[in-house]
């Protein structure tokens, strides 16, 4: 058996993320003892109508969130316990709401820093209704093998180590959350473990005190002894002593009290929990509590360290007198499924990766491009073209190559508002569309007729150079297999009206005295084609393509140089329209040649 929390306990949790975290811990315990999750509902108005996902074993449970306790208990009539994880300023209202619901019999408040007055009002209200109000500042309640309320008991491994999967013979009541776990552990190592452990919270006036729980333990035949971990301040330990000494009790009482250090500290220096404060006249000191407990017949070890042996001694007496039998441990315990990461770390599982990357990694404290940390690249004077080289071609390009790329980008950053890309972006901007979508609209225009010829131009020039074709052979090959030569021809520019960007780029690259076989070939092609027709000149796409192939960039990356550069212009156009607060535009009728059939009658539907 156990007290307060058992196999019939059905829980609603009031609160947000802290409550969800607690539910996850509670689900781990339920999984360990092979019982369904005891949390049926959450109450948290901001998330009402949604569900919280709680892992259980290797699966996920969806637990509904309601806006009020009434709504939760209406939908889950078996609810009988509430855990309050609401902030201190709203905790009283939440606690009252739970206490006032006829279904709820136990309310445990985890919230810390609740005003003393509020805690007293909640405690008094619960007593009036004959219910239990535990806390505030409670770490929770756990009954071995039956029920966990809150995070008490800690991580899954600790639940197993502390043998919380099956009942022992010791009850535990503590003010401190951390020490509750310590005592549970001690009871499992020096004795047969616990029945129920309760954190009553470290506040001055907890809703339920030691005596109420001692009374419950006294009436629970499975509990043979109770361990109390006390603190200086208040009179709860004295009351417990009074209860224990009042008449012969079935349960044995073992107790320790902290705060002896106060005797040798400057007066008024206050340590620990809110409730840990000595009274004006020495009442509530560790010594007076400890003396009262001893006088009442409790076993009071001199230090915390002596608690283990004291519990052991008590347990051995119980064994000898036949009041308890040595527990039988289950042969196999459920193990909490590992996450994929944990299992991989333990070399227990192999996962086929979904994607593979060979260029970058940002799992450390900063991104690495092809292995080089970004900050180191910056500090050693590398620039954007080098990053492009690393991410597009996985190599550190030279200063000279970087300069060429920089110039290409500067020359192709924008080409005015009339070209397809910029026009599409402006049209979208005027329609009130956001930046990324408007730029994407412009981006969509890049293709075989606008800006998208760089890759193909590079591919064919390279093909010709690799196969040592003459210009005539190349033009014949293109005519037969592909059609017009990409990178040759311009809508506006011609021999007489040359493209200055091309002249600039060719001039610069030629001045470098490096080998440029593709560019040389492209210029030879232009000589032939421009004789045939005045505007069949080497255009900026073709020039870029030839130069980029010459400095070794992969063919498939070539369009990227135009896309990247032009993005600068497209963003500029969007910002420009936005700044002007441009109105919506549409085509005028006179700009459309309406070649559709004249208006006519619709025939009957057949």
Residues belonging to the active site: 273
For residue 367, give every residue at least 6 positions away whose Cβ sits within 8 Å of its Cβ, in sequence order, or none: 360, 361, 373, 374
Residues 501 and 540 sit within 8 Å (Cβ to Cβ): yes
- Cα distances from 421 to residues 52, 84, 442, in angstroms, run 46, 58, 4
* Structure tokens belonging to residue 592: 């459309």
For position 361 contacting other proteins by CB under 8 A, the verdict is: no
Provide DSSP, 204-260: SS-SS-HHHHHHHHHT-TT--EEEEEEESSSSHHHHHHHHHHHS--SSEEEEEEE-G
Is position 55 an interface residue for other proteins (rule: CB under 8 A)?
no
218 binds other proteins (CB under 8 A): no
Q: In the complex with other proteins, which residue's Cβ is closer, 343 or 564?
A: 343
Q: Which is nearer to other proteins, 270 or 449 (CB)?
A: 270
Decide: is 240 part of the binding site for other proteins (CB under 8 A): no
Member of 247, 248, 267, 356 binding other proteins (CB under 8 A): 267
By CB under 8 A, is residue 9 in contact with other proteins? no
Counting other chains too, the contacts that 315-322 makes at CB distance below 8 Å and 24 or more residues apart are: 315/169, 315/170, 315/190, 315/191, 315/192, 315/225, 318/169, 318/224, 318/225
Rule CB under 8 A: say whether 176 interacts with other proteins.
Answer: yes
What one-character DSSP code corresponds to residue 94? H
Q: What span, in angstroms and rounded, lies between the C-alpha atoms of 380 and 365?
A: 19
291 lines the binding site for other proteins (CB under 8 A): no
**Residue 231 near other proteins by CB under 8 A:** yes
As given in the structure block, the two tokens for residue 85 are 């994880």
Q: Which stretch binds other proteins (CB under 8 A): 40-48, 70-78, 121-129, 243-251?
A: 121-129
Decide if residue 567 touches other proteins (CB under 8 A): no
Separation CA 66–CA 166 (nearest Å): 33
Binding status of residue 182 toward other proteins by CB under 8 A: yes
Asked if 116 is part of the footprint of other proteins (rule: CB under 8 A), the reply reads yes
User: Using the rule CB under 8 A, is 269 a contact of other proteins?
Assistant: yes
Can you name the residues that pair with 63 across neighbouring β-strands?
A: 52
Residue 273 in contact with other proteins, rule: CB under 8 A: yes
Residue 177 in contact with other proteins, rule: CB under 8 A: yes
Considering only 55, 245, 272, 560, the residue that binds other proteins (CB under 8 A) is 272
**DSSP output for 396-410:** ---HHHHHHHHHHHH
Identify the residue among 38, 52, 82, 181 touching other proteins (CB under 8 A).
Answer: 181
Q: Which of 76, 304, 420, 520 binds other proteins (CB under 8 A)?
A: 304
130 lies in the binding site for other proteins (CB under 8 A):
no
CB of 207 to other proteins, least distance (A): 10
Cβ at position 340, least distance to other proteins in Å: 18
CB-count burial class (<10 Å; 0-12, 13-18, 19+) for 353: exposed
C-alpha to C-alpha distance for 52 and 73, rounded to whole angstroms: 17
CB of 224 to other proteins, least distance (A): 23
Is 112 an interacting residue with respect to other proteins (CB under 8 A)?
Answer: yes
> Which parts of 139-168 interact with other proteins (CB under 8 A)?
139-140, 151-155, 158, 161
CB of 80 to other proteins, least distance (A): 24
| Side-chain half-sphere CA neighbours of 537 within 13 A | 18
Query: Please, which of residues 443-462 interact with other proteins by CB under 8 A?
Result: none
Residue number, 157 or 472, with CB nearest to other proteins: 157
Judged by CB under 8 A, which of 2, 180, 223, 455 binds other proteins?
180
Residue 420 in contact with residue 441, Cβ under 8 Å?
A: no
The values of phi and psi at residue 12, to 5°, are -115, 135
Residues that bind other proteins (CB under 8 A): 21, 25, 88-89, 112-118, 120-121, 123-124, 139-140, 151-155, 158, 161, 174-182, 185-186, 202, 204-205, 209, 229, 231-232, 234-235, 256, 258-261, 263-274, 276-277, 286, 302-305, 308
């Amino acid at each position: 058996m156990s007290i307060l929390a058992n196999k019939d306990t059905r829980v609603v949790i009031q609160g947000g993320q802290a409550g969800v975290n607690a539910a996850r811990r509670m689900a781990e315990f339920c999984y360990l003892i092979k019982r369904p999750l005891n949390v049926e509902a959450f109450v948290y108005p901001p998330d009402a109508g949604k569900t919280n996902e709680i892992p259980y074993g290797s699966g996920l449970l969806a637990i509904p969130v309601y806006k009020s306790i009434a709504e939760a208990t209406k939908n889950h009539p078996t609810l009988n316990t509430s855990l309050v994880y609401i902030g201190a300023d709203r905790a009283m209202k939440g606690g009252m709401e739970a206490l006032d619901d006829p279904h709820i019999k136990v309310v445990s408040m985890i919230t810390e820093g609740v005003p003393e007055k509020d805690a007293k009002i909640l405690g008094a209200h619960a007593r009036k209704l004959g219910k239990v109000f535990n806390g505030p500042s409670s770490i929770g309640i756990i009954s071995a093998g039956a029920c966990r309320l809150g995070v008490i008991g800690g991580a899954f491994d600790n639940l197993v180590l502390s043998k919380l999967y099956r009942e022992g013979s010791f009850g535990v009541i503590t003010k401190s959350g951390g020490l509750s776990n310590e005592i549970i552990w001690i009871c499992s190592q020096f004795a047969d473990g616990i029945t129920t452990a309760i954190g009553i919270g470290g506040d001055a006036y907890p809703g339920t005190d030691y005596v109420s729980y001692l009374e419950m333990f006294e009436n629970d035949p499975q509990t043979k002894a109770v361990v109390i971990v006390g603190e200086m301040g208040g009179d709860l330990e004295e009351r417990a002593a009074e209860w224990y000494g009042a008449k012969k009790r079935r349960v044995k009482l073992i107790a320790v009290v902290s705060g002896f250090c106060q005797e040798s500290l400057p007066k008024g220096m206050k340590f620990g929990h809110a409730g840990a404060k000595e009274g004006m006249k020495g009442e509530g000191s560790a010594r007076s509590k400890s003396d009262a407990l001893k006088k009442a017949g409790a076993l009071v070890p001199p230090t915390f360290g002596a608690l283990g042996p004291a519990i052991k001694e008590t347990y051995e007496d119980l064994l000898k007198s036949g009041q308890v039998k040595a527990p039988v441990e289950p042969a196999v315990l459920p193990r909490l499924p590992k996450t994929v990461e944990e299992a991989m770390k333990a070399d227990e599982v192999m996962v086929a990766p979904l994607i593979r990357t060979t260029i970058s990694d940002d799992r450390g404290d900063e991104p690495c491009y092809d292995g080089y940390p970004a900050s180191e690249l910056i500090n050693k004077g590398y620039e954007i073209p080098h990053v492009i080289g690393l991410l597009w071609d996985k190599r550190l390009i030279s200063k000279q190559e970087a300069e060429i790329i920089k110039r290409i980008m500067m020359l192709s950053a924008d080409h005015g508002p009339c070209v397809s890309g910029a026009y599409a972006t402006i049209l979208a901007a005027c329609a009130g569309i956001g930046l990324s979508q408007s730029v994407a609209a412009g981006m969509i225009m890049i293709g075989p007729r606008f800006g998208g010829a760089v890759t193909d131009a590079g591919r064919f020039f390279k093909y010709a150079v690799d196969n040592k074709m003459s210009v005539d052979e190349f033009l014949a090959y293109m005519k037969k297999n592909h059609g017009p030569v990409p990178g040759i021809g311009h809508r506006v520019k011609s021999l007489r009206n040359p493209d200055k960007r091309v002249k600039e780029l060719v001039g610069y690259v030629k001045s470098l005295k490096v080998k440029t076989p593709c560019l040389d070939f492209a210029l030879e092609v232009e000589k032939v084609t421009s004789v045939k027709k005045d505007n069949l000149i080497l255009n900026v796409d073709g020039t870029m393509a030839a130069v980029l192939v010459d400095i070794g960039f992969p063919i498939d990356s070539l369009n990227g140089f135009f896309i990247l550069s032009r993005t600068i212009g497209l963003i500029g156009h969007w910002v420009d329209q936005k700044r002007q607060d441009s109105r919506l535009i549409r085509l005028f009728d006179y700009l459309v040649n309406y070649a559709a059939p004249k208006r006519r009658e619709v025939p009957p539907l057949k």
